[in-house]
Amino acid sequence: MNLEKTNQIKAAITAVGGYVPDAILSNEDLEKMVDTNDAWITSRTGIKERRILKDKDKATSFLAIEAAHDLISKYNIDPKSIDMVIMATITPDIHVAATAAYVASTIGADNAFAYDLTAACSGFLYGMSTSAAYIGSGRYKKVLLVGADKMSSIVDYTDRETCVIFGDGAGAVLFEPSINKFGWEDEYLRSNGNERMSLRIKAGGSLHPTSKETLENNWHNLFQEGKTVFKYAVSEMAYAAEKIKERNNLKGEEISYLVPHQANKRIIDATANRIGLREDQVLMNIAFYGNTTAATIPLLLNDNESKFKKGDKLVFAAFGGGFTWGAAYLTWAY
Ligand code: UT7
């Protein structure tokens, strides 16, 4: 479906915020923890360091609340005016109770309803689609979308193939009805559940409830078949971005920025090459944060906000566990 053919209200991003914890886990630090080295990590992933939330009593909600506060204070938003809070995360504070509800209450969004959305590294991309649809239907006027993950809480720091990739962080954006012609333009979203075991936490759910066996087998940590994920990510992220480019008649030089999920610099480069972009058109902060899962895209927006001009054409692309993936096109509204 091409969104330009529908008659919905256009949803625009009108504010952004972000937060990463202070503590840095560098490649050199990891060399002391597993059999790896800075040269391998840098050349295979593009990552130099990541941020880690060290406080044992702080969870993903802490990251999300900080990011939301950053947005609210920068743009002077009254939290009571927020209609809903959607939180993309795979590391909720606790099971059953949505972390988004706690975040909404803590920031004073007393008139909002809130829920979590789970689509791993595509969570924020899917969340943007959901937010844009709620605004587009006319039902709500202010949707706060937060992407936050405390990946350090599920990473096995003895698994060198996985632990070098992930970091902690959070980002937030506000969606409102567009007051100019700019905003959410198009999306191409897909999933393939047949590959769910390629990137997973095996236990703790209804398939393998927590037991002595699941604990002994280390099934509560994140595990990925790196090569399989890489292969799918390269082809599907690039295909989705190309599809978005083609059906919106975008020429390479017309795209202001590619805003890609930050999983591996080689995946990002492959996507950018496929749609014919120069290096300066590709936003990247993977070197400093690694893969923060649902937070990569809003952190990119927050870090680069000062560069954006009204009408800039942004193409988003993501790939993650599920598998879930897709691309989207948004024109910057301010
Ligand atoms: O957002 C979605 C989440 N995940 C992803 O997108 C991850 C996608 N996958 C990847 O990014 C890459 O597959 C990895 C970074 C995980 C691995 O890179 P790779 O180029 O696919 O490496 P590989 O698995 O082909 O391994 C190459 C070699 C192996 O050694 P041998 O068998 O050739 O002797 C690995 O054992 O590199 C070795 N290796 C390492 N060496 C040093 C694997 N991890 C490491 C490490 N340090 N951390």
In this structure, the residue with its CA closest to atom 6 of ligand 1 is 263
Residue 2: pLDDT band by 50, 70, 90 thresholds? low
Contact 330, 185 (CB under 8 A): yes
If one residue of 45, 161, 166, 261 were mutated to test the ligand 1 pocket, choosing by the most ligand atoms within 8 A of its CB, it would be 161
Residue 297: pLDDT band by 50, 70, 90 thresholds? very high
What local confidence, expressed as pLDDT, does residue 1 receive? 53
Q: Is 44 in the pocket of ligand 1 (CB under 6 A)?
A: yes
267 alpha carbon to ligand 1 midpoint, in Å? Answer: 13
Percent of the chain with pLDDT over 90: 98
* Backbone conformation region of residue 182, classed left if phi is above 0, alpha if psi is from -120 to 50, else beta: beta
In this structure, the residue with its CA closest to atom 43 of ligand 1 is 161
Domains and CATH numbers, the chain: 3-177 (3.40.47.10), 184-331 (3.40.47.10)
Structure confidence by residue, pLDDT tens digits, 197-236: 999 999 999 999 999 999 999 999 999 999 999 999 999 9
Indicate the pairing of strand 257-260 with strand 313-320: parallel
Q: What positions carry a catalytic annotation?
A: 121, 261, 291
Angle (deg, nearest 10), helices 296-304 and 123-136: 70
Residue 8: pLDDT band by 50, 70, 90 thresholds? confident
Q: Is 148 in the pocket of ligand 1 (CB under 6 A)?
A: no
In this structure, the residue with its CA closest to atom 45 of ligand 1 is 161
State yes or no: pLDDT of 35 exceeds 70. yes
Structure confidence by residue, pLDDT tens digits, 252-266: 999 999 999 999 999
Kindly report whether the global pTM for this prediction surpasses the value 0.95.
Answer: yes
How does the average pLDDT of the chain come out, rounded? 97
Q: Is 69 in the pocket of ligand 1 (CB under 6 A)?
A: no
